[in-house]
Amino acid sequence: MPDRIDVGVLGATGVVGQQLVSMLEGHPWFRTTWLAASERSAGKRYGTLPWRLPKPLPPSAAGITVSPLVPADAPRIVFSALDAGVAGEAEVAFARAGHVVVSNARNHRLDPLVPLVVPEVNGDHLSLLAAQQRERNWTGAIVTNPNCSTVFVAMTLAALKPFQPSRVLVTTLQAVSGAGYPGVSALDILGNVIPYIAGEEEKIERETRKILGRAGESGVDDAPIVLSAQATRVAVQDGHTALLSIALDLAPSLEDVAEALANFRGPDEIAELPSAPSAPIALVHDDDRPQPRLDVSASNGMTVTCGRLRRCPVLGYKLVALGHNTVRGAAGAALLNAELVVVRERRLRTPPPEALCRTEARVRDTSRDTLSPA
Amino acid sequence: MPDRIDVGVLGATGVVGQQLVSMLEGHPWFRTTWLAASERSAGKRYGTLPWRLPKPLPPSAAGITVSPLVPADAPRIVFSALDAGVAGEAEVAFARAGHVVVSNARNHRLDPLVPLVVPEVNGDHLSLLAAQQRERNWTGAIVTNPNCSTVFVAMTLAALKPFQPSRVLVTTLQAVSGAGYPGVSALDILGNVIPYIAGEEEKIERETRKILGRAGESGVDDAPIVLSAQATRVAVQDGHTALLSIALDLAPSLEDVAEALANFRGPDEIAELPSAPSAPIALVHDDDRPQPRLDVSASNGMTVTCGRLRRCPVLGYKLVALGHNTVRGAAGAALLNAELVVVRERRLRTPPPEALCRTEARVRDTSRDTLSPA
Amino acid sequence: MPDRIDVGVLGATGVVGQQLVSMLEGHPWFRTTWLAASERSAGKRYGTLPWRLPKPLPPSAAGITVSPLVPADAPRIVFSALDAGVAGEAEVAFARAGHVVVSNARNHRLDPLVPLVVPEVNGDHLSLLAAQQRERNWTGAIVTNPNCSTVFVAMTLAALKPFQPSRVLVTTLQAVSGAGYPGVSALDILGNVIPYIAGEEEKIERETRKILGRAGESGVDDAPIVLSAQATRVAVQDGHTALLSIALDLAPSLEDVAEALANFRGPDEIAELPSAPSAPIALVHDDDRPQPRLDVSASNGMTVTCGRLRRCPVLGYKLVALGHNTVRGAAGAALLNAELVVVRERRLRTPPPEALCRTEARVRDTSRDTLSPA
Amino acid sequence: MPDRIDVGVLGATGVVGQQLVSMLEGHPWFRTTWLAASERSAGKRYGTLPWRLPKPLPPSAAGITVSPLVPADAPRIVFSALDAGVAGEAEVAFARAGHVVVSNARNHRLDPLVPLVVPEVNGDHLSLLAAQQRERNWTGAIVTNPNCSTVFVAMTLAALKPFQPSRVLVTTLQAVSGAGYPGVSALDILGNVIPYIAGEEEKIERETRKILGRAGESGVDDAPIVLSAQATRVAVQDGHTALLSIALDLAPSLEDVAEALANFRGPDEIAELPSAPSAPIALVHDDDRPQPRLDVSASNGMTVTCGRLRRCPVLGYKLVALGHNTVRGAAGAALLNAELVVVRERRLRTPPPEALCRTEARVRDTSRDTLSPA
């Protein structure tokens, strides 16, 4: 694969950063050539740092010397798995320096000019990048993916959009990997439930509305859906479970709802993305599914599994949605966003056909808005 | 305590039965003299059977020879911790034979003539016992307590009754002890969530309406509250967490709601019941409470702990309620019901004062409705 | 693959049976054509029965109608994942009827004429099959693999055999999947340790000596190793951890021991077995490894991971061994044994003819060569 | 209780510190008047800091303003639940300033002049305090209790001392509370085993020999027992399980061993200590006991529960010992040590005068009797 695109990872030593490094191994389009982390790890070989995934550390990544969090020699596309404490400024610095930052951090998600994207749902929000570059004078860009639980809620509601969801109550049972490492103390969660995750409920409520909204010239008109979230932490390693009650204004039959979930697909361009699952939602029919243990790894963790669809006496419809929080809800979400960015850039540049990487400095120089479709 | 009342336990070998035996130890009014279980255990000394509670088996119970599930020599008051598979017929047989069956089983809870009681909430439903004895020609009676999760939901809504709760969404995260022994397989629940408990959601929805309803001559008029429940099993030993969203028609302030929860007390007679906590609801204010690990044993497991009271964008109010499922949600609920029955019987008989137990055969012969207040 | 060998699975609905069905999917030599289980499941389509593995049920197996536990139309090679309660008689019935029973059940493991085999360690014990057929008048055969924990202990000691292990103390921390389904109650194991598994310690002590022993005409001379086992159950889904203290009479250096573990390979024929890992033992060097979460799936669960090799003040050497109990310790162990049987049979059938095992050519000529297909 | 002794706690905000504060509540001899912690907490009211025990925070402690870690106004007796990172210097500073530091930290345990005490086992080691004060010119003193697991191992071996234990292999399965807070990451331990705890094996091996040794003028002659430990972390909240194989040179019968364990008592003075359990060891006979869930709280966590006593083919005897790591293994151990110090001091002060420990009366006369209050 001689013309794979070099990519880097900001925050490569955390839970999401490691997941990204793992998912990038063998990627058909991308090649990890640069890894960055905080001062403590910078200068060390990546392979000497603690690796916490059950899958082995990719040998190619092991040999990379960890860079500090400065643009310098970073490749054009960098993923950000940074903690919110440092992501805000660091990502802007990279965008200003010409890098496309595909970020999992929360800092810029609600910035009016930053697209908050789930490719199957609102890939068209990438149109904001034109305004972003224009208004901010960035030669690069920032693209974000939602909070982990939000992905699963937004995906489910996107599938039900034809029925006009208006009010949604969601309770989440979230896995410990969602809190990073060391994250949740074992003393707090073994045999326990913590009915609170700082900031999580607000993220689910706000981000979902933005994702399902309509992107305009200078921002997104939030979708007119009223959401209420209750977030809990449970003793699960990977996999967030979301229990939803939904009011659908068009009052479809349960069969129609089931069909909409099972047949939900993103726009055609999704089929080109190598990390996209064949169906973003799988609908299961056993009473006791979905379960983290059995369903979290569906389609390598990229599919949201829905089940227990039934009537809700209060809001009309109830169901359970489950997703892999560090894959579809974080690293895989960012990866898919990066793939979408690349597809959009390719399309812009053709015809005449051009090599994606080698010649793109020039393209960017001349266009200054290559990231936004016409 | 020479005049303690002899009591028995049907289903004494299960999780709830053992909890009952443990809670009856040292009880100021009751003395366990009779224990019954299925054929497999009948005839054996109770102390030779497996004991699964962290608290030691009471020595007095250890020496009791387990009886089969037939009235025969059982004392007048028997608790039933039987499985639903056998409780239905067995409890009727005991009621017909003159026993007051204080049951935790689900079988008769929705029988129009069987009171489904949480003493702090609807002790007045014991008035159904008169009709029950009259219609069924039982010389005994059946009194039931609700499903474990229902207790916590009903208690919370009872405290909010002044504000007219009309619609309620509740998601429960339930402990494995709620499924009895052996109950849930470790393979199914370790590091997992099961988003389904057979029959649980219906129980929460129906039983709550009956408890909050108004008892009449021949049954209960359900409270006009629309409930929707989603029940899950989590890897917790003891303690069910319920996350509620509630519409209150009178639209109180959050302060008023907080005050109503914290100050909720049952009717005055509750103060006489030795197992009643000083307050049936404790309201906590830390963001991350209540938690099973920290709050399940509040007031020896008899208090429901509420917290995280806040606005719900969809229904108006959100909060979390937590209770000990095998204590306040089962054994302790039955115990409290038995204490209430005894208090009511005492009140009926005074003056002139009479010995509670020794002389009550005559009382029952002459009145045939000693269990119901005038 | 037109000439794959049809195989069946006895006890196909249990934890090990399902693991076998899953591992046989896509096997280069075998094709699952027949599944059998107890009366309760017989007659049903396999795909309608509960499937409890995270991996999806193979579609080809889903369509098979479950047979009762009788030889009838079963293929010549059948795996047995039966419970010990029924395995004893059923396996003999199949062997008598001409089937090669490759069993994971404990019943016949210590039968002097039944080989108890770990291919990398004692594949030559298959020589017992000649005597087995002769003495028992079976036209089929029974081959067994060890108890799950025993595999990991025996593999480790086999690697150290050159140093003459003489005394071994082993403590195991065993996963719940080792107890089958429903197996361990969640109430018993959540946040707990059970320091007892019925029969387990005896199995580890006895089976290891047989595996490491020398097979003769009519049985195995046990290896002269004194073993003492302490078995515990812990709250782990998959993966048994064994902590060993070992006396090695030749007193090698730690470096020599490390090298022996890392370089351990079975005899050359092992390389032909499709399920054999490239190395049966992986030696890791991080202080805190091996761990079930990180190491259980090494080489698809077929490699035993050793680590923490160090001096033991009492016996000389200490180390930790970890293996996947339902794969390398059960289903994968049986699969590997079946592959070895097939390799031996193939070799027998190819001119110049060779003994299945070196000494049994004559025996097999007179016994109608029942182990090889016509 | 007008004459209760004021005590303080160094490191009052950690897991062990909180356990100490909880156990001191209502103590018949001690009254908590002073709490100290690191800079971050100093100056705050104790009741405003996070409290992580299921038992409620004692109201009297809640009102105490947390002091920094300097002697200043601290009472004469201070418990130390400090982290090893700060305990070394801080404890010396307090001892030098005249305080009796009853420490749970590891820093000074192996100091030849610091007694490492389990009152039932080696209370006479307090005799080292005379030399400690003389040699170090401290007007106070440092007394330590062992590492959590060591307590359970040492107690068990002390009971077997009459049979001359010579070689001991111990494997521990340790609870997460032993690592403090936040301590172990949930990601690391949920559904997992970590076969390593830094420094733990050395502590068990060395501290046990000192505790069982003989105290002389200037140190302790270690007991001539060869120990080998393997320590693991498991997903248990509280309660360390130790599996022991023991060589006893006098080769007693199993009955004799059982009797020695069940009847083990410390010296007579132990009966005066209010926190001492009636028996330091409980011997249970069910095959599957002791278990953390069922046995950790025996005698309020102060009793070590032994079980599964049987022959070991390698060393002679096997058994399982379980103790509460933050109670008997930490806070309760320190509390018991403080009680013992007080008993010894009281005895010193009552005519006819007696030595604190038999040989040190003279020493203490010349050293201004710093261990006894005026």
B224, part of any domain: yes
Residue D186 corresponds to which tokens in the numbers above?
A: 């949930």
Region of residue D92 (phi > 0: left; psi between -120 and 50: alpha; otherwise: beta)? alpha
Whether D162 contacts D250, CB under 8 Å: yes
Q: What percent of chain C has pLDDT over 70?
A: 93
Would C56 be classed as within a structural domain?
A: yes
- The pLDDT score that the predictor gives to residue C347 is 86
Do residues C155 and C126 share a domain?
no
- Give the residue with greater pLDDT, C371 vs B5: B5
Using CB atoms, which residue from D173, D198, D245 is nearest to C232? D173
Closest by alpha carbon to B326, among B11, B18, B77, B4? B18
pLDDT in tens, D315-367: 999 999 999 999 999 999 999 999 999 999 998 776 543 434 333 333 333 33
B153, B136: one domain? no
Q: Rounded to 10 degrees, what is the CA torsion of B92, B98, B103, B107?
A: 10
| Residue D311 to chain A, least CA–CA distance (Å) | 35
Residues of A in contact with B236 (CB under 8 A): 191-193, 235
How far, in Å, are B367, C41, C268, D271 from residue D259 at the CA level? 61, 51, 55, 20
On chain B, the residues whose CB falls within 8 A of the CB of A149 are: none
Q: What is the pLDDT of residue A260?
A: 98
Kindly report the average pLDDT of chain C as a whole number: 93
CATH number for the domain harbouring residue B232: 3.30.360.10
Distance from CA of D294 to the nearest CA of B (A): 4
**Does A184 contact D at CB distance below 8 Å?**
yes
In the prediction, which pLDDT does A363 show? 35
Q: Does C52 touch chain A (CB under 8 A)?
A: yes
ipTM of the complex: 0.92
Contact D232 C245 (CB under 8 A): no
Are D142 and D17 contained in the same domain? Answer: yes
Residue A207 maps to a domain: yes
Q: Residue C2: what pLDDT?
A: 55
Residue D106: per-residue pLDDT: 98
Find which of A15, A185, A194 to mutate to test the D interface (most D CBs within 10 Å of its CB).
A185
* Span A112-136, pLDDT tens digits: 999 999 999 999 999 999 999 999 9
Q: Are residue A218 and residue A73 in the same domain, yes or no?
A: no
Residue A38 sits in a domain whose CATH number is 3.40.50.720
pLDDT surpasses 80 at D307: yes
Could you tell me if B160 and B246 lie in one domain?
yes
Per-residue model confidence (pLDDT) at position B351: 52
**Judging by DSSP bridges, how do beta strands C193-194 and C226-234 pair with one another?**
antiparallel
* D187–A183 C-beta distance less than 8 A: yes
Residue D372 in any domain: the answer is: no
Low-confidence winner among B263-272, B361-370, C47-56, D276-285 (lowest mean pLDDT): B361-370
pLDDT one-digit tens code per residue, D153-194 = 999 999 999 999 999 999 999 999 999 999 999 999 999 999
Give the count of domains, chain A. 2
Distance from C-alpha of A257 to C-alpha of B341, rounded to nearest angstrom: 49
Q: Are residues A345 and A273 part of one domain? A: no
Task: Note whether D194 contacts A: Cβ–Cβ < 8 A.
Answer: no
Q: Which two tokens stand for residue C170?
A: 């082993």
Question: Smallest Cβ distance to C169: which of D193, D292, D314?
Answer: D314
User: Do residues B26 and B85 share a domain?
Assistant: yes
Rounded CA gap, A246 and A225, in Å?
Answer: 10
For residue C194, list chain D residues with Cβ-Cβ distance below 8 A.
288, 291
B9 lies in the same domain as B96: yes
Amino acid (one-letter) located at A374 = A
Helices (H), chain A: 15-24, 59-62, 84-96, 119-122, 128-136, 148-159, 186-189, 200-211, 254-263, 292-295, 332-349, 360-367
Q: Are the CB atoms for D119 and D158 separated by under 8 Å?
A: no
Judge whether D169 lies within some domain: yes
Ramachandran region, residue D369 (left: φ > 0; alpha: ψ -120 to 50; beta: rest): left
Q: Say what the pLDDT of residue C18 is.
A: 98
List the subunits that have 3+ CB pairs under 8 angstroms with D.
Answer: A, B, C
pLDDT tier at D2 (50, 70, 90 boundaries)?
low
Kindly identify which residue of chain A lies nearest to residue D192, measuring between CA atoms: A237
Same-domain check for residues A134 and A158 = no
Q: Residue A188: its chain B contacts at CB < 8 A?
A: 293
Residue C340 · residue C276 · CB < 8 Å: no
Chain B positions in Cβ-Cβ contact with residue A236 (cut-off 8 Å): 191-193, 235
Asked whether the predicted pLDDT for residue A284 surpasses 80, the reply is yes
Answer yes or no: do C82 and C166 share one domain: no
D148-159 vs D200-211: helix axis angle to the nearest 10?
Answer: 40
C166 lies within 8 A of chain D by CB:
no
Rounded to 5 degrees, what are φ and ψ at B69?
-85, 55
Nearest to B147 by CA among B54, B16, B53, B278: B16
Give the pLDDT band of residue A373 (cuts 50, 70, 90). very low
What is the arithmetic mean of pLDDT over A18-38? Answer: 97
Mean pLDDT in residue range A285-305:
97
Q: Give pLDDT tens digits for A40-85.
A: 999 999 999 999 999 999 999 999 999 999 999 999 999 999 999 9
Q: Which of B196, B236, B315 lies closest to A308 in CB terms?
A: B196
pLDDT, tens digit (0-9, with 9 covering 90-100), for A138-176: 999 999 999 999 999 999 999 999 999 999 999 999 999
CB atoms C187 and B183 under 8 Å: yes
Residue B230 belongs to a domain: yes
Residues C186, B191: C-beta atoms closer than 8 Å: no
Burial D283-308 (b: 16+ CB within 10 A, else e): bbeeebbbbbbbbbbbbebbbbbbbb
pTM: 0.93
What would the pLDDT profile of B44-87 be if each residue is shown by its tens digit? Answer: 999 999 999 999 999 999 999 999 999 999 999 999 999 999 99
Supply the pLDDT for residue C366.
35
Q: Is C148 a catalytic residue?
A: yes
* Selected catalytic residue, list C108, C148, C324, C357: C148
Distance CA D262, CA D257 (A): 9
The Cα–Cα gap between C61 and C31 comes to 10
Same domain assignment for residues C249 and C293: yes
In a domain, C189, yes or no: yes
Residue with tokens 């990890």: A32
Question: What's residue C276's pLDDT?
Answer: 98
Q: Quick one: what percent of chain A has pLDDT higher than 90? A: 91
CA angle D84, D90, D95 (to 5 degrees): 120
What pLDDT is attached to residue A350? 64
Residue B372 forms part of a structural domain: no
Which of B243, B294, B297, B322 would best serve as a mutation to test chain A binding (most A beta carbons within 10 A)?
B243
**Nearest Cα residue to D26 out of D58, D64, D63:** D58
Residues 90-129 of A with CB under 8 A from B: none
Residue that has been written with the tokens 């109550």 in this structure: A169
For residue A356, pLDDT beyond 50: no
Catalytic hit among A27, A108, A148, A306: A148
Interchain CB contacts (distance < 8 Å): B and D = 17
Residue in B27, B99, B108, B240 annotated catalytic: B240
* pLDDT the model gives residue D369: 35
pLDDT at B350: 64
A167 and A298 in one domain? yes
pLDDT, one tens digit per residue, over C162-220 is 999 999 999 999 999 999 999 999 999 999 999 999 999 999 999 999 999 999 988 99
Tens place of pLDDT per residue across chain B (374 aa): 458 999 999 999 999 999 999 999 999 999 999 999 999 999 999 999 999 999 999 999 999 999 999 999 999 999 999 999 999 999 999 999 999 999 999 999 999 999 999 999 999 999 999 999 999 999 999 999 999 999 999 999 999 999 999 999 999 999 999 999 999 999 999 999 999 999 999 999 999 999 999 999 889 999 999 999 999 999 999 999 999 999 999 999 999 999 999 999 999 999 999 999 999 999 999 999 999 999 999 999 999 999 999 999 999 999 999 999 999 999 999 999 999 999 999 988 765 444 343 333 333 333 333 344 33
The predicted pLDDT at position A349 comes to: 77
Would you say residue C355 has pLDDT above 80? Answer: no
What residues contact residue B131 under an 8 Å CB cut-off, 6+ apart? B113, B217, B218
Query: For all residues of chain D together, what is the average pLDDT?
Result: 93
The answer to whether the peptide bond before residue C146 is cis (omega within 30 degrees of 0) is no
Look at residue B280 in the predicted model and tell me its pLDDT. Answer: 98
The C residues from 196 to 255 touching B (CB cutoff 8 Å) are 235-237
Find how far residue A177's CA is from the centre of its chain.
15
Tell me whether residue A99 is one of the annotated catalytic residues: no
Range of the domain at D126: 5-146+330-366
Q: What span, in angstroms and rounded, lies between the C-alpha atoms of A222 and A215?
A: 9
Taking 90 as the threshold, does the pLDDT of residue A353 lie above it?
no
User: And the tokens for C92?
Assistant: 């003999």
Query: In whole angstroms, what is the distance from residue C17 CA to residue C105 CA?
Result: 11
Sign, CA torsion C364/C367/C368/C370: negative
CA distance A299 to D133: 69
pLDDT, tens only, C285-325: 999 999 999 999 999 999 999 999 999 999 999 999 999 99
Task: Name the one residue in this structure whose structure tokens are 């963001």.
Answer: B287
